[in-house]
Structure 1
Amino acid sequence: MAKIALDLEHALARRAREASKGATASRIVASGEGYSVADVLCTCGPGDAAFEERHGAFCIALVVAGAFEYRCATGHALMTPGAVLLGNAGECFECGHRHRAGDRCIAFHYRPEFFERLFADAGYAGRAPSFAGARIEPTRELASYVATAGAGVAASANGPDVPWDEMALSLAARVLRHFDGARSVEPKPLPRGALARVVDTLKWIDDAPDTALGVHRLAEHAGLSPYHFLRTFERATGVTPHQYVLRARLRHAAQSLADDPDKVVDIAFACGFADLSNFNRAFRAEFGVAPRAYRKRWQR
């Protein structure tokens, strides 16, 4: 399991040993004029009440581990690794863990006046700055941000530096462009029972992305017919089971390339890829660089 997810599992295990209530811990990893970046780790679970808060700033949060439900004025969405949570300044929101304990996000917060300038510079002058949806499903376009941010917070104190200031600006621009032609999240949430089956399946994938997991095996695990499972999974997460499994493997590989000295071929096989050339092709398509180049970037 990648270090970013392993830290969450350790926190959940510590909570279980101490029989304590779930809580959210936030650690600022970077800040600058008009923005801040926080590593947010939550140990709440099905026994904890959903918490309601208000976004004090515009928020773009990259989900790097776990799963939870998010509700705000622009929608109701299941947040999974690789997804992007969106929040407008001043907007009330609710997060809950009815079906699975724990999550970890890298949250970029933008002060309203700073975001207004970004919004205008991106070509939206004359309009009130806002996000049109609650979530962006895991996409290739944003995968490199999720991987880089996750590796950045997981690195040791002497690890490589992440250009958080550049990432904050670039990420905001990418998110705004996404809504130029994209639809917002599903307006109607799934029935609670169906959502619970999907979340249970997500944990199985996240815990062992290297396992051979086809749609029939996943459907059997969820107790649904393959056709019904496929529709339910895609509606809940925004991606197909195959896409989710592939991206889980690639995120795990990216973290291993940044953290571990193992050979690229060994990492590829350990993450569930049966062929090195397929792994190299999929990794380049997802992150824009070959695995060796990605590792060298972190070594520098």
Structure 2
Amino acid sequence: MQADVIQLYKSSLCTVHDFLCRCTECTVSKTEWQETFSIAYVRKGNFEFKVFRNDLDAHHGLFLVCKPGYEHRVGHVHDLPDECTIFSLPAENLESFKGQTNEFSWFFNNPDIQSVLIKATPQTEYLHHIIFCELAKSRHDALLIEQLVTNLLLMVVSTGDPQVHPVLSYKQKKFYLPIIESVKYYINDHFTDDISLTELAGIGHLSPFHFSRLFKQLTGVTPYTYLLRVRLTQATLQIRNTHLPITDIAFSCGFNSLEHFSASYKNIYGKAPSQLRV
């Protein structure tokens, strides 16, 4: 398998790599050794991750979680190259990480499970988006990067058992997932705007009705719910890490009233935004 693997960040806490497939034909890689615990977000494309007798169908919208110390192979599903962001923890940090993830003990304590796919959520995809954009800058704020990475990895595994994700057809993965990728990226980059369904559908040259149905099929949520949860995730980061008034945070994250923000926040998280600062 031909690929560019670019180190984006490295510290005693974690390493982040950008994996860019460069294969020109569908092949299966040679056996590779998984040296560290890693969580990879599939930004683009689709591939089969082969561990022992398990073939995991990895594609955009999923996180691939891998234990260290196992062999695997990777096979192409179609001619669209895959791109992944790979977060790796050194061995000295893995035990500490396990101690924070009781919901994921079924994975760590079962020697018959080496890798698993976890469905991404709007929250985890937005956190990944922030991290990836920060790492594209010429200078990094190490504390910010490591705090965001820690939040992301813990959030990915906090779901407990892997969420059931829909089995996608070849046509959906090759032709429709790239459209959804582009729409998600647009939402993550423009969530403060007053985004319309027609605007999002236009990115994929689809009718609003077709797009809305397709987005729900492939993500499990409506476009509005995805946008709302991105806004709430950004608001949570600001509430926890700044001293800005709650009202200012609400408007800066795209909400048009404090009442709407507070009601949405309590509906999703079960408590008022102000309680994060108590």
- Tell me, yes or no, if the aligned pair for 2:38 and 2:66 is still in contact at 8 Å: yes
Residue-pair matches, total: 250
Aligned to 2:44: 68
Correspondences of 1:138-287 after superposition (within 5 Å): 138=121, 146=127, 156=141, 174-175=158-159, 177-179=160-162, 182-189=163-170, 190-257=172-239, 262-284=244-266, 286=268
Which residue among 108, 111, 122 is the counterpart of 2:105? 122
Partner of 1:91, secondary structure, is: strand
Partner of 1:67, secondary structure, is: strand
Structure 1's 27 and 74: CA in aligned 2 closer, same or farther, altered over 3 A?
A: same
C-alpha distance in 2 between matches for 1:214 and 1:164: 31
Which residue among 80, 87, 100 is the counterpart of 2:66? 87
Structure 1's 291 and 135: CA in aligned 2 closer, same or farther, altered over 3 A?
A: same
C-alpha distance in 1 between matches for 2:183 and 2:152: 32
* TM score, norm. by length of structure 2: 0.62
C-alpha distance in 1 between matches for 2:79 and 2:225: 24
Which residue among 114, 120, 127 is the counterpart of 1:137? 120
- Tell me, yes or no, if the aligned pair for 1:38 and 1:108 is still in contact at 8 Å: yes
TM-superposition CA deviations, 1:10-47 (whole Å, max 9, x none): xxxxxxxxxxx97522434444xxxxx333456x59xx
1:78: how far off? Answer: 0.8
1:131: how far off? Answer: 4.3
C-alpha distance in 2 between matches for 1:128 and 1:245: 38
Partner of 2:212, secondary structure, is: helix
2:38 equivalent to 1:59:
yes
Deviates more, 1:271-280 or 1:192-201: 192-201
Partner of 1:211, secondary structure, is: coil
TM-superposition CA deviations, 1:71-129 (whole Å, max 9, x none): 222113213xxx633335433347999599x8756445779x9799999x936767613
- Tell me, yes or no, if the aligned pair for 2:262 and 2:273 is still in contact at 8 Å: yes
1:207: how far off? Answer: 1.6
2:19 equivalent to 1:38:
no
C-alpha distance in 2 between matches for 1:165 and 1:249: 20
Structure 1's 292 and 59: CA in aligned 2 closer, same or farther, altered over 3 A?
A: same
1:209: how far off? Answer: 0.8
2:179 alignment partner AA: R
2:16 alignment partner AA: D
- Tell me, yes or no, if the aligned pair for 1:76 and 1:187 is still in contact at 8 Å: no
- Tell me, yes or no, if the aligned pair for 1:59 and 1:108 is still in contact at 8 Å: yes
* TM score, norm. by length of structure 1: 0.59
Partner of 1:90, secondary structure, is: strand
1:216 alignment partner AA: T
Aligned to 1:8: none
| Structure 1: stretches of 5+ with no match in the other structure | 1-20, 32-36
| Structure 2: stretches of 5+ with no match in the other structure | 50-54
Structure 1's 159 and 240: CA in aligned 2 closer, same or farther, altered over 3 A?
A: closer
Query: Root-mean-square deviation (CA), in Å?
Result: 5.0
Partner of 2:45, secondary structure, is: strand
Partner of 2:15, secondary structure, is: strand
Q: Which has the higher contact order (CA 8 A, sep 6+)?
A: 1
Structure 1's 270 and 128: CA in aligned 2 closer, same or farther, altered over 3 A?
A: same
Q: Identity, % of aligned pairs?
A: 17
1:259: how far off? Answer: 5.6
